[in-house]
Amino acid sequence: MSGGLKPLVTTVFVPAAIFGIGQGAAAPVMALTARELGASVAVSGLIVAVVGLGAVLGDLPAGRIVARFGERRSIIGGSAVGATGVLVCLLAQTPWMLGIGALLTGLANAVWGLARQSYLADAVPIGLRARAMSSFAAMWRLGFFVGPLLGAAVILVVGARGGFMVQFVGVVLSGWLMSRVPDPPRRDPATVRGHATLPSILRRHRKLLATLGAGSLMMGAARASREAVLPLWAAHLGLDAAQVSLVFGVGAAVDLLCSYPAGHFMDRYGRRFIAVPSLLVIGASYLALPFSHDLWSIGIVAVVMGIGNGLGNGVIMTLGADIAPPATRAEFLAAWRLTHDTGMFAGPFGVGALAAVVPLGAAVAAIGGAALLGAGLLFRFIPVYSPWPPLPAAEPDSSPLEKQEA
Q: Which tens digit of pLDDT belongs to each residue from 114-142?
A: 888 888 888 888 888 888 888 888 888 88
Same domain as 203, residue 139: no
How many residues does this entry show for the chain? Answer: 406
Residue 37 lies in a domain: yes
pLDDT score of 209 more than 70: yes
Q: How far apart are CA 355 and CA 352, in angstroms?
A: 5
Residue 186 lies in a domain: no
Question: How far from the centroid of its chain's Cα atoms is residue 305's Cα?
Answer: 16
Residue 109 lies in a domain: yes
Beta carbons of 131 and 267 less than 8 angstroms apart: yes
Looking at residue 388, the DSSP 8-state letter turns out to be S
Task: Compute the Cα dihedral for 63, 67, 72, 76 and give only its sign.
Answer: negative
Residue 84's pLDDT is what? Answer: 96
Q: Which residues contact 116 (CB under 8 A, 6 or more apart)?
A: 12, 16, 71, 75, 136, 178
Residue 143's pLDDT is what? Answer: 85
Number of other CB atoms surrounding residue 190 within 10 Å: 9
Residue 3's pLDDT is what? Answer: 54
Beta carbons of 133 and 318 less than 8 angstroms apart: yes
Same domain as 222, residue 94: no
Which range is least confidently modeled, 32-36, 43-47, 165-169, 341-345?
Answer: 43-47
Same domain as 218, residue 74: no
> Domain containing 61: what range?
1-181
pLDDT score of 42 more than 80: no
Number of domains in the chain: 2
Same domain as 248, residue 163: no
**Omega cis (within 30) before 389:** yes
Query: Binning pLDDT at 50, 70 and 90, where does residue 168 land?
Result: very high
Which range is least confidently modeled, 83-97, 143-157, 174-188?
Answer: 174-188
The helix/strand/coil state of 239 is coil
Residue 39 lies in a domain: yes
Per cent of the chain over pLDDT 90 is 29
Query: Binning pLDDT at 50, 70 and 90, where does residue 198 land?
Result: low
Residue 116's pLDDT is what? Answer: 82
pLDDT score of 185 more than 80: no
Same domain as 212, residue 158: no
Query: Binning pLDDT at 50, 70 and 90, where does residue 97 land?
Result: very high
Residue 88's pLDDT is what? Answer: 96
Q: Backbone phi, then psi, for 398, in 5-degree steps?
A: -125, 150
pLDDT score of 193 more than 50: no
Average pLDDT over residues 216-226: 90
- Name the domain boundary from 181, 210, 243: 181
- Name the domain boundary from 126, 155, 181: 181
Average pLDDT over residues 393-402: 50
Same domain as 301, residue 215: yes
Residue 188 lies in a domain: no
Query: Binning pLDDT at 50, 70 and 90, where does residue 394 land?
Result: very low
Query: Binning pLDDT at 50, 70 and 90, where does residue 196 land?
Result: low
Same domain as 120, residue 55: yes
Same domain as 143, residue 43: yes
Same domain as 340, residue 207: yes
Same domain as 225, residue 171: no
> Where residue 25 sits, what CATH number does that domain have?
1.20.1250.20
Query: Binning pLDDT at 50, 70 and 90, where does residue 36 land?
Result: confident
